[in-house]
Structure 1
Amino acid sequence: MVKRADTILIPVLPSPIDIRAASHFIRDLLLVGKVSRKQTKLAVIANRVRENTLVYHKLEKFLKSLKIPFIATLRDTQNYIHAEEQGLGIFELTPSLVAQDIEQWQPLLKWLRNKRVHGATK
């Protein structure tokens, strides 16, 4: 299934267990799954982050050590829970309440748009 994917986004939580799991997953994806980096765009996203913590700094160091783009850091916030409870996405909530979250999504959205444009021109 992953061999057919144009884009694979890998969310990683700031925890030692998730960092290890992501490391193994990426290895398996590239070696066992035989995903071609030339045909499939891979990127990593730090998810549910509290930036001023030691474990986040370890996660950031790990993600930057990969030869895969580290494109976004999404903070740990109740906004996602509030949105889900209402059957909405954060982009549908009151903008003033989710401005920081929407800002954090911009690098990811830009990366996805760029990959789509480049992929369409191949």
Structure 2
Amino acid sequence: MTIAFACVLFMGLLPYVAAGIAKKGFEGYDNGQPRIWLAKQTGFRARANAAQANLFESLPFFFAAVIIASVMHAPQARIDLLALGFVIARIAYLICYIANWPTTRSIVWLCGIACVVAIFFQI
């Protein structure tokens, strides 16, 4: 498994980390209607839930970039490096979202997107 493919696996699981943070402690959690419960949350729980949604939204673009670059035999070392950059940016993004640092969050979001675009430019 390449580093980039490991990053794909990791990124596929990261939104579930955000979901776990949103449900931390399960105080009053309603497993029968989890989306309604999450929609009523505020503070870090609401931000973690929003981060979860955004993490899921970013996956298709990243997955496509890694797969297409791999199929087109782009330089693997560059794909790996840029995929790691994306993962680091998305972890930082999750931290910034939960910590309520919107400006920093936007900057690391941009860094993550730049990594994905750069993967496409390796083709």
TM-score tier after normalising by the smaller chain length: 0.3 to 0.5
Q: Given the two structures, how large is their TM-score scaled by the length of structure 1?
A: 0.33
Normalised TM-score (structure 2): 0.33
Higher share in helix? 2
Give the structure with the larger strand fraction. Answer: 1
